[in-house]
Structure 1
Amino acid sequence: MMTQEQCTHRNNVQSTEKPQVYKVGIYGWRKRCLYFFVLLLMILILVNLALTIWILKVMNFTIDGMGHLRITERGLKLEGDSEFLKPLYAKEIQSRTGSPLFLQSSKNISINILNEKKHPVSQLVAGSHGVHARGKMLEVRSSAGKLLFSADDQEVVVGAERLRVMGAEGAVFSNSVETPHVRAEPFKELRLESPTRALYMEAPKGVQIQAEAGDIQATCRSDLRLESKDGEIILDAKKIKLLRLPEGKASSSGTRQNVFEVCVCPSGKLFLSQAGTGSTCQISNNVCL
């Protein structure tokens, strides 16, 4: 136990000492650094807010969209020129009423139709080398819905009333051509030509060759054949000229004359025979041999 004298001495010592005060807070260079960082943070916040307002103003952000892009009930609406850096997937693309639609690319424009397995079944590619289309069938129709052109694996159909070929060499067909009418332009000549092979014209009811304002000329290297299996071949004109026909001779002697008759060999070959009181074709048929 502590004696009374010791307690008195301790109380006297405590009464003579001054109380110590502890300061709480940041002082000195730490306080100045803290104020500097707070000021810098406020400046960054103001700059960020100003940049955000500037971006909203420049990009024209509104409730309906941003810039030339507007969100409508029917979808997205773009006003002006738009550039797409990656593929565009859309159900329908159309221009404004009364305005054309332009698709422009530095390389090519590709339109692909995919099936359920993501494989292209129809494709249209427009590039610097031309326009390429691939699909089961290609159709071109007029504004009224009339078929103008169609093509598939079986045939190519031209539904227009007139097929016009503007090339100087005309049209070249490697196989047969089936058409009800072939006509040249007004004041132009029509030429059907096969340079290295034969030329055939066939029809179930007849072939009509007509030139209302000019001549009809048929030229071949070997034989020109006009054949009618069940009917006739009629040459109806004021003058019919058969030039350079061979001349048959009835005998080696006799006087020459300028009157002849036209004879026909069993093979169909024509020749001339000197006219007499009767037919001289039988005695002048040495041409037929």
Structure 2
Amino acid sequence: TLTFDSLSDEKLVLKNSDVWENSLTLGDGKLEVQSNSFQIRSTNPMDLDDNVDDILFNVEPQELTLHAKEFLRPALGGHNINTSLETKSIRGDLYHDLRLESRTQSVLIEADKDIHLESRGGDIMSQSYDNTILTANEAIRMQTKRLEFRNLPLFDKTADEINAKDSYQLCICESGQLFAVRPDSVCKADAHWCSVQTNDQ
């Protein structure tokens, strides 16, 4: 055991020949570290996961990494971010799903430019107990081999004829653009509408 006993702050400084400095300061209610990298390692890596090393906490100028089986906070919703999280990227590891969830409020994802969601090895699922709303000033683009709408209600013209004026057919151009027409109309648009090019085409 190495013990330091002092009436003032304790500071441990390490230097090399190039005067590159790491320092550790222990003060009244504080621990201050000056370094380009700071790590906390587990004494028992097997408690974490067989697929990761023993690093619990790692801080570098470009990245901050936390690893644990769970991030716990004494709140009903689990780990809670009270205001906002601003970052260039949020990603899950190779062996677990990435999940963003709000059980009682809303999850808001916004950007000044584009929002890009990509999964290279599985599904992207959005689930809401009320409504899922996608809003854009210009276009919402989906690039996929197949687009499915499941569990849609069937329209019975005889039973729902009063509301027939509020229903539409969903049509698609060869360019991928969608448009709606009345249920008794032909699914056809003029050449100008389907020839409008988006920025990605």
- Please, what TM-score do these two structures have when normalized by structure 2? 0.51
1:133 aligns with 2:30: yes
Question: Superposition pairs for residues 109-148 of structure 1, below 5 Å?
Answer: 111=26, 123-124=27-28, 132-133=29-30, 140-142=34-36
Counterparts of 1:238 and 1:194, CA distance in 2? 31
Q: How many residue pairs align between the two structures?
A: 137
Counterparts of 2:112 and 2:62, CA distance in 1? 23
Shift of the 242–142 alpha-carbon distance from structure 1 to 2, 3 Å rule, reads same
Cα distance, 1:181 vs structure 2: 0.5
Q: What is the aligned partner in structure 2 of residue 211 from structure 1?
A: 119
1:233 aligns with 2:137: no
SS at match of 2:80: coil
Counterparts of 2:144 and 2:3, CA distance in 1? 72
Cα distance, 1:275 vs structure 2: 7.3
SS at match of 2:66: coil
Question: Superposition pairs for residues 55-204 of structure 1, below 5 Å?
Answer: 87=6, 111=26, 123-124=27-28, 132-133=29-30, 140-142=34-36, 160-170=61-71, 171-204=79-112
- Please, what TM-score do these two structures have when normalized by structure 1? 0.37
Cα distance, 1:193 vs structure 2: 1.0
1:244 to 145, 151, 161: 151
Cα distance, 1:262 vs structure 2: 3.2
Which amino acid in the other structure matches residue 66 of structure 2?
Answer: V
Q: CA RMSD in A?
A: 4.3
Can you list the C-alpha shifts for 1:225-267, whole angstroms capped at 9, x where unaligned? 11102x10112212111112223333359xxxxxx9537xxxx
Alignment check: 8 A CA contact 1:249 1:274 kept? no
SS at match of 2:170: strand
Cα distance, 1:186 vs structure 2: 1.6
Alignment check: 8 A CA contact 1:248 1:274 kept? no
SS at match of 1:164: strand
Alignment check: 8 A CA contact 1:183 1:190 kept? yes
Counterparts of 2:3 and 2:151, CA distance in 1? 77
Alignment check: 8 A CA contact 1:261 1:274 kept? yes
Cα distance, 1:215 vs structure 2: 0.5
Structure 1 portions without partners, runs of 5+: 1-80, 98-109, 112-122, 125-131, 149-157, 254-259, 264-272, 280-289
Which amino acid in the other structure matches residue 166 of structure 1?
Answer: H
Cα distance, 1:223 vs structure 2: 0.6
Counterparts of 1:215 and 1:92, CA distance in 2? 51
Counterparts of 2:139 and 2:9, CA distance in 1? 67
Can you list the C-alpha shifts for 1:132-178, whole angstroms capped at 9, x where unaligned? 318xxx564227xxxx7xxxxxxxxx654333232333453122111
Alignment check: 8 A CA contact 1:193 1:199 kept? yes
Counterparts of 1:241 and 1:249, CA distance in 2? 21
Shift of the 217–89 alpha-carbon distance from structure 1 to 2, 3 Å rule, reads closer
Question: Superposition pairs for residues 34-73 of structure 1, below 5 Å?
Answer: none
Identity, % of aligned positions? 21
Shift of the 220–140 alpha-carbon distance from structure 1 to 2, 3 Å rule, reads farther
Cα distance, 1:188 vs structure 2: 2.1
Shift of the 141–83 alpha-carbon distance from structure 1 to 2, 3 Å rule, reads closer
Higher relative contact order (CA 8 A, sep 6+): 2
More helix by share: 1
Shift of the 246–168 alpha-carbon distance from structure 1 to 2, 3 Å rule, reads same
Counterparts of 2:152 and 2:125, CA distance in 1? 18
